[in-house]
Amino acid sequence: MEKKIPYIYTDEKGNPLYRQIRIQKGKEKSFYGEKFENGKWIKGLKDVKRVLYNLPSIIKAVEKAQKIYFVEGEKDVETLKEKGLVATTIANRR
C-alpha cells in the first residue's frame, strides 16, 4: 500500500511556499516537490524560494537563544517536535 506524506515549507509568517511529498511503499521511499502558486500545488520546485523546514519555529528559537537541531529530513524534524525540541532541515530535492 502506498502512503503519501506531505511536508510543507512555509515563509516566516507560516504561509506555504512549497512541499516535499514522501511516498512510502513498504520499505521503499521516494520524494517529489510541489510549489504553492496562486492557491494551487504545482509539481516541481523551479523558481521557488528555498527556506528551512519549520521556519517560524526556528525564528522563535533564535529569538529565545534556544538550541536548534539540524537533521537529515522532515520526518526527523517531526519526531523531534513531538519530543518538544526545535529542529529543521532543508529540502535538497527538486
- Output phi, psi for 73, to 5 deg: -155, 175
- pLDDT averaged over the chain? 94
Burial of 72 per CB tally in 10 Å (0-12, 13-18, 19+): exposed
Q: How far is residue 29 CA from its own chain's centroid?
A: 16
Mean pLDDT of 75-90: 97
How much is the pTM?
0.90
30-75 pLDDT, tens digit per residue, is: 999 999 999 999 999 999 989 999 999 999 999 999 999 999 999 9
Q: Which of 24-28, 65-69, 90-94 has the lowest mean pLDDT?
A: 90-94
**Rounded to whole angstroms, what are the CA distances from 5 to 2, 19, 23, 25?**
10, 10, 6, 11
